[in-house]
Amino acid sequence: MSEKIAIVGTGGTFAMEARHAFDWVEYGEGGVVRPIADLLDGATAGLDVALQPVDFRALGSTGITLSDWIDLARLVATIEVGCVITHGTATLEETAFFLSLVHRGDRPVVLTGAQRPANSAGSDALPNLRSAIAVAASPVARGAGVLVVIDNMIFAARDVTKESSGALDAFVAPEFGPLGRVEADGSVRFRRVAPPSAPAIDLTRAIAPSAVTLPRVDIAYSYAGADGTAIDAFVAAGARGIVSAGLLPGRPANGEARALAAAAAAGLFVIQGTRGGRGNVVPQAFLDRAGMIAGGDLSPQKLRIVAMLVLSAGGSLSDLRDVIGTI
C-alpha cells in the first residue's frame, strides 16, 4: 500500500513562474504563484507514495509573519500522515526551527524549497521535492523531528542555515553536518541520532487557539563602533527580548554594552549570540554581571525564536537558559 504524504504549499520560489529560462533572480516580478497541485508532476518517480496536496498561503518567504507561523503549525498538527512543506528559502530555516519546537508526535515533517523557479533552466524544485517526499515516506524519518531537505541532503531544523544567495547547495549545517542524503533512486541514507529533546517548558502554548502572534524579540547586530541606539529603539518599541548578534567569540561592541545591560535590568530577555556562522557562546562573567545569558551554538535568528516561544509560555530567563541548553 502506498505511503500517504501531505504536501503543504506555502509559495516561495518553488511556486513562482520564471518569465524566461534564466530568470533566476527577478522572477517575483512576474507575479505568478502556482498552486502546489500544479507542481507535483514527476515528483513521485520511483517512489511508492500517494500525495495529498494542501494549499496554505501564497507567501514569499520574505513576507512570512509570526501569525503565519502559528497558523502553519496548527495546520501541520491536524495532518495525520507524513508531511512535506514547500517554502521560500529566505526564511526556511526559521520556519523549520519554529515548527521543530512546537511539533509533537513522531510524524515526519520535512521542509524543502528551491533556488530556481520550477519552469526555469536547471531548476532544483522538482529534485528537491522528490527528495523531501522520499524522506517523509521513509521509516527513518519517524521520530527524527522536523527536517530540511535541500540538494539531496537531509538536515536537522536546529542546525541548518542558508549560506549562499543563489547556489543550489545553499544550505549547510556548519557545526554538525547533515543527517543523511537521498540517493538518485529515492533511497534514504540516514545517520541515526538521538531523538530531539522535548523542552521542560511547554512551548506549544504559542499555537494555542487563543494565540494570535508572538512576543516581540529583536536582534541587534554588532559591528565596529556600534552603540546602543538600535537597542534603545527596540526597547522603546515594546521588545520583550533582545538577541545580541555579537562579535566573535561572543561579545557586543563596547558601545552596546550599556543598552544591553539596561534592557536586562528592565526585565527583558537579553541573549548573547554571534554574527558568525559557527562557534559556541559560553557563559561568561560579563554576561552574569549584565543579567544576560549565553546563546550557545544557536544562530541569532534561532535564539530569537526560542525567546519568543519561552515568553509565550510564561517562562523565566532561567527557563530560557534551560531550553537553549537542551534542544
Active site residues: 13
Which helix (H) or strand (E) element contains residue 269? strand 269-274
- Neighbour tally for 48: CB within 10 Å: 10
- Neighbour tally for 2: CB within 10 Å: 11
What's the DSSP call for residue 52?
E
Say whether 170 sits in a helix, a strand or coil: coil
Identity of residue 102: V
Say whether 237 sits in a helix, a strand or coil: coil
Tell me the sheet residues that pair with 286: none
Spatial neighbors of 152 by CB under 8 A, at least 6 apart, are 127, 131, 181, 182, 183
User: 263, 242 in Cβ contact below 8 A?
Assistant: yes
- Neighbour tally for 235: CB within 10 Å: 18
